[in-house]
Amino acid sequence: MQEPKKENEKDELKVEWLGPDGALVLLFIVLACIYGYGMLNSVDFIIGVLAPGIAIVITVGVFIKYCTEVFSFASGKKGTDKK
């Protein structure tokens, strides 16, 4: 029989929709709309420049956010018990 989860274990498994994870989901939706509009209306600038530029900017931003979380965890500033 499984033990009930503690409150702190439940928080660790939570997806942060307002953080990097939500940004990636939003990126997919936004790019699908932009590409769809560009293809339906034959706008080459949107398909060739705008959509890839948006993807690059958001992806680099999410990557930097994850890197800062990893480095802060590795340096001991995050994830330690503060008593």
Give the per-residue pLDDT at 41.
93
Question: In terms of pTM, does the model score above 0.75?
Answer: no
Helices and strands, counts by H and E, the chain: 4, 0
Residue 23 in domain: yes
> At residue 47, what is the residue type?
I
> Which pLDDT band holds residue 14 (cuts at 50, 70, 90)?
low
Which domain covers residue 65, as residue numbers?
Answer: 18-74
Res. 30: pLDDT tops 80:
yes
Nearest alpha carbon to residue 59 among 33, 27, 15: 27
Residue 31 in domain: yes
Number of neighbours of residue 19 by Cβ within 10 angstroms = 13
Give the per-residue pLDDT at 40.
93
Domain count, the chain: 1
49 to each of 21, 80, 83, how far by Cα in Å? 24, 44, 51
